[in-house]
Amino acid sequence: MVSIPEYYEGKNVLLTGATGFLGKVLLEKLLRSCPKVNSVYVLVRQKAGQTPQERVEEVLSGKLFDRLRDENPDFREKIIAINSELTQPKLALSEEDKEVIIDSTNIIFHCAATVRFNENLREIHCTLEEAEAAL
């Protein structure tokens, strides 16, 4: 039987929701427990004047990643932030980014969620369907 780190060795992972609670925890655990994962593509939207890269860097600078920074200071090289908007058709991906994701991704973790807890259920369902169709 293959161990989890062996399974992820050399694989490319696509992660949505990397700036949220679940996504942060998953990203840290994946990079710490599976150091030979090839890369992690994180779909992140631009927000409040911050680029996707800046938002990811803010996450990676948090306390959650202290242990990973100590054990593997070069872990950031594996993370590739991609500008995306899950509520838009085709996730608002550029053609180039779409090709990279299609050609490279082995595993997908869809952890993105709305934080608008008063949102209409129909809108939430449509957003979920759009993301699933695009992924």
- Residue range(s) defining the domain that contains residue 106: 4-134
Per the structure, how many domains does the chain have?
A: 1
Q: What pLDDT sits at residue 86? A: 84
Looking at residues 56-61, what average pLDDT do you find?
96
Looking at residues 14-21, what average pLDDT do you find?
95
SS (H, E, C) 3-51: CHHHHHECCEEEEECCCCHHHHHHHHHHHHHCCCECEEEEEECCECCEC
Residue 20's domain is classified under what CATH number? Answer: 3.40.50.720
Residue 122 has pLDDT above 90, yes or no: no
The Cβ of residue 97 has, within 10 Å, a number of other Cβ atoms equal to 17
Looking at residues 62-66, what average pLDDT do you find?
98
DSSP category for residue 94: -
Instruction: Decide: 33 and 68 in contact? Cβ < 8 Å.
Output: no
Give the residue among 91, 69, 120, 73 at the shortest CA–CA distance from 17: 91
Q: What is the pLDDT of residues 91-101, one digit of tens each?
A: 899 999 999 99
Residue corresponding to tokens 């030979």: 36
Q: What pLDDT sits at residue 90? A: 87
- pTM assigned to the model: 0.85
Residue 69 has pLDDT above 90, yes or no: yes
